[in-house]
Amino acid sequence: MTRVPQQIKLFLKPILQAIQDLAPIALVIIVFQLFVLQQAIPNLPEMLIGFLCVIFGLALFIQGLELALFPMGEKLAYSFARKGSLFWLLLFAFLLGFGTTIAEPALIAIAGKAADIAAQGQLIEPTAVAKSDYANGLRMSVALSVGLAIFLGVLRILRGWPLPVMIIGGYVLIQLLTPFAPKEIIGIAYDSGGVTTSTITVPLVTALGIGLASSITGRNPVLDGFGLIALASLMPIFFVMVYGMIVLP
């Protein structure tokens, strides 16, 4: 009996894992479509092709994370720790959060849609310039907030500050600010926290935190290396509400 070559095994492993991960989603859709709605699945050939694309795309994405982004983030953290320069490490953390967020497609789409709705509701001038300024202001607010969040997260790892205190304190501050923010911006602010967790930011920032915690004596990668993404999801809520208080009437 012929043995499966190692290269084929390496190729099939992420695809099989992707199929396993997506199987519950497909099962839920099929059950509700056929047995609850009792309707045939529309555009079945196109859906099957799309599902196959998702499987291969997810498999390639996971491989890319394991081969490139995670090792790169950890190596950068080790290099900055060996260099011993707090300024460059914190500057890199801020720019990493800012740069990956400002170009996030989901954020661009959400900011544009928010500008359209604000113009329809007469919150801003219904002109292309006004909508562009409003959307760019939202993007800049979120990007600055994520940059600051990664900055504080790295500083937390270095100083050993407790993560629960920072998270609870942040949510308390957000709850105190919410009654004073314009009603039209509150939903956008809370949604902006989820928009920031992009496919590039999350693995790179997580790897940075784990690598940094691993390279510092007395830090535990499991306890201290995570939490950056929580801060990156929390900070935009506060910043966008402040932005709305400044810009909206």
- Give the global pTM: 0.78
d(CA 240, CA 245): 9
Question: CA-based angle 90:144:64, to the nearest 5?
Answer: 70
Q: According to the model, what pLDDT value does residue 217 have?
A: 73
Q: Are 214 and 74 in contact (CB under 8 A)?
A: yes
d(CA 227, CA 164): 9
- Answer whether residue 3 shows pLDDT above 60: no
Mean pLDDT of 151-169: 90
The mean pLDDT of the chain is: 84
